[in-house]
A and B are shown apart, each in its own frame.
Chain A
Amino acid sequence: MSDTLKTTPLHALHVELGGKMVAFAGYDMPVQYPLGILKEHLHTREACGLFDVSHMGQALLKGADVQSAIESLTPSDIKSLPIDGIRYSLLMNDEGGIRDDFMVTNRGDHLYIVVNAACKDADFAHIAASLPDHTLEILEDRALLALQGPKAAEVLNRFAPGVDQLIFMNMGEYDIAGIPCLVSRSGYTGEDGYEISVPTAQCEELARKLLAEAEVEAIGLGARDSLRLEVGLCLYGSDIDTTTSPIEGSLNWAVGKRRREEGGFPGHDVVMKHLADGVERKRVGIKPLGRAPARAHTEIADMDGNVIGEITSGGFGPSFGGPVAMGYVKTDFAKVGTEIQLIVRGKTMPAEIAKLPFVPQRYYKG
């Protein structure tokens, strides 16, 4: 099995640290370290965690007026993005569904993009084929680390003075401990923190330096998932996919105002129809009222027992201190506070529609 899986530049380090390795998106990745998911999660919210996200795809898109070019694939307003500003964006299909969610940074004469590991081959092929007059340069020689948590800025500033001044959703070039890196003030935990694109050859050196700091623990995919779920962030392939529109996915904010009027992206007609007429189902936060977690694919029923939807992500929220979930319900039931039932192991369990996020997001906005 493991010889068919790809590895990141930190694979040996994960094993050395006692990481429990599992297959994820074609990679052999640590789901947890000896600390365990619960403590890794809490440590990230209290101090600082280091995540290997090198399995994600990094690329540069180059060519004339590249900001306009990428707008033909996404509903985001990229043209208004300041230099080195970052935007959460969606790669759309013609039916108004979502091919992937990704991050776009405006680097002036080019864009830096980061896509999900499971989708990266398809995404890059799609972008390259859709924009034949532009050049997509896949960054095979770069790894990606995420340093997340309230102590992240203090820790990283020791190695790169001034990096604590970077504002949320902005990027800059910094030498971190002498290693040239592309640093974003961003992440997917709801905490302040950074995503660091580092040359593959120096990734392990940088990871070891960061892990040597007292505040920093290595964090696996298990805690990455519970951290993002608590702050209401979507997992592509579970919470959004090719069959969900951005409006059904409650990602209206990812559809730029100018783009709604002008269009020019795949699925614009569907998105506009969903905005004008409303949607039949909607992604919402769901709080089970008991202690039992409700996992993905759990059926959601109204108080009369009629099925009204399905959980798409669910589990235990260590910082929330109880079970948390997200899922789709018929729009009539989407209002916060609506009582619903979850069908867990054949039994009904009380739950209610909850406001997202379950735990407040804490970003550095200057």
Chain B
Amino acid sequence: MTVKYTEDHEWVLIEGDNATIGITEYAQNALGDIVFVEVPEAGTEFSQGDDAAVVESVKAASEVYAPISGEITEGNAALEDEPALVNTSPEGDGWFFKMTIGDAAELEDLMDEKAYNEFCEGLD
């Protein structure tokens, strides 16, 4: 079990051939109060970098990108009724979607926790 990160502030939990994706604590803090989340349906195929989900704060709408290529196996239905889970538990109950890992080589593009933390420090 490994967690990797993207420059778009997504986390990718890798478990065998599958991954769970959400947005980071840094991202939820920057977005502020989340009022709407749209997650993809199971069966949807994405290439790395495609728009996969939408997250809206009181201020604005943002896209969540597919950090890797693959097929969606589950979207987090709980976020429809309780989008604020992304604020309270961004790296737990506030996960966005689960997907297959279509191309393991793409995981090499992602940062580990140390690199991501350094990346965030560079932004402040």
Residues in A lying within 8 Å of B, measured CB to CB: 31-32, 36-39, 41, 222, 226, 291-293, 295, 315-316, 318, 323, 345
Contact = CB atoms under 8 A, between A and B. Distances in A.
A295 B62 CA distance: 12
B54 A345 contact: yes
B32 A316 contact: no
Given A37-B32, A316-B36, A292 B58 contact: no
A293 B33 contact: no
Nearest to B56: A293
Interface of B: 32-33, 35-36, 38, 54, 56-61, 80, 83
A345 B32 CA distance: 21
Contact of A37 (B38, B56, B59, B61): B59
Nearest to A291: B36
A318 B32 CA distance: 13
A36 B32 contact: yes
Contact of A38 (B56, B58, B61): B58
A316 B61 contact: no
Contact of A32 (B32, B36, B83): B32
B33 A292 contact: no
A98 B25 CA distance: 44
A293 B61 contact: yes
B84 to A, nearest CB: 9
B36 A222 contact: no
B64 to A, nearest CB: 12
A36 B61 contact: no
Contacts of B32: 32, 36-38, 222
Contacts of B33: 36-39
B73 to A, nearest CB: 22
A318 B54 CA distance: 19
Contacts of B80: 291
Contacts of B54: 292, 345
Contact of B61 (A222, A226, A291, A295): A295
Contacts of B36: 291-293, 316, 323
Contacts of A31: 59
A329 to B, nearest CB: 22
A318 B84 CA distance: 13
A315 B80 CA distance: 17
